Chains A and B, each alone.
Chain A
Amino acid sequence: GIQVEQSPPDLILQEGANSTLRCNFSDSVNNLQWFHQNPWGQLINLFYIPSGTKQNGRLSATTVATERYSLLYISSSQTTDSGVYFCAATPGAGSYQLTFGKGTKLSVIP
């Protein structure tokens, strides 16, 4: 199966700072998603982004499928952005099993 690697594993930011989280995957993917896991354990969908760029408020994501990576940008970070960010992908067409990276734990301090 595909391998998904995320970096950095931990990140501490001052409120208001910007950050970039990276996700590398080992093979071509059919589905690439970013999730935020809040302190209560709920996984929240951020982006479905197998290719291209999307923006949602202070968050944006870019996937370069040919180079097998995706980036999640957080601008003007807030304490509520704290939590774990996961990247997950499925291999080629016909498969729906998401393989997750180990996550980036983000702590935004006031």
Chain B
Amino acid sequence: DVKVTQSSRYLVKRTGEKVFLECVQDMDHENMFWYRQDPGLGLRLIYFSYDVKMKEKGDIPEGYSVSREKKERFSLILESASTNQTSMYLCASSTPGQPGAFFGQGTRLTVV
């Protein structure tokens, strides 16, 4: 089974802090994604990556950046956390050779 692991289930950070959310997948997938989930809005794509060192903006990239130095790891960075970034963050991976995308367990981030 594909395993996508996010480094934290719950995280509390202060406004202005730099925040790193880590995601690791163990199936050698080329594609990795970061989504945020908010009540009433569903899941919205922040950034995605098709390969190492490659990144593409999704629908809501403002206030975020990403890093993919190794194929199995995709990091989401909040340069200066703000309260409106309080949300559930979900990482996913996929590969052209296998249908479907697979999600991690989610990180619930609270910015105070």
Interface, chain A (partner B; CB < 8 A): 1, 31, 33, 35, 40-43, 45, 48, 86, 88, 96-103
Contact = CB atoms under 8 A, between A and B. Distances in A.
A33 B100 contact: yes
Contacts of A45: 100-102
B66 interface: no
Contact of A102 (B41, B58, B106): B41
Most buried by B among A42, A45, A98, A100: A98
Contact of A86 (B43, B44, B96, B108): B43
Nearest to B32: A96
A103 B43 CA distance: 9
Interface of B: 31, 33, 35, 40-45, 48, 50, 58-59, 88, 90, 92, 94, 96, 99-103, 105-106, 108
Nearest to A1: B59
A86 B50 CA distance: 24
Contacts of B58: 97
Nearest to A45: B100
Given A41-B88, A98-B43, 8 more contacts: A31-B99, A48-B100, A88-B101, A96-B31, A96-B94, A98-B33, A100-B43, A102-B40
A86 B45 contact: no
* Interface pairs A-B: 9 shortest CB-CB: A41-B106, A43-B103, A102-B42, A48-B100, A100-B43, A48-B99, A100-B42, A96-B31, A42-B105
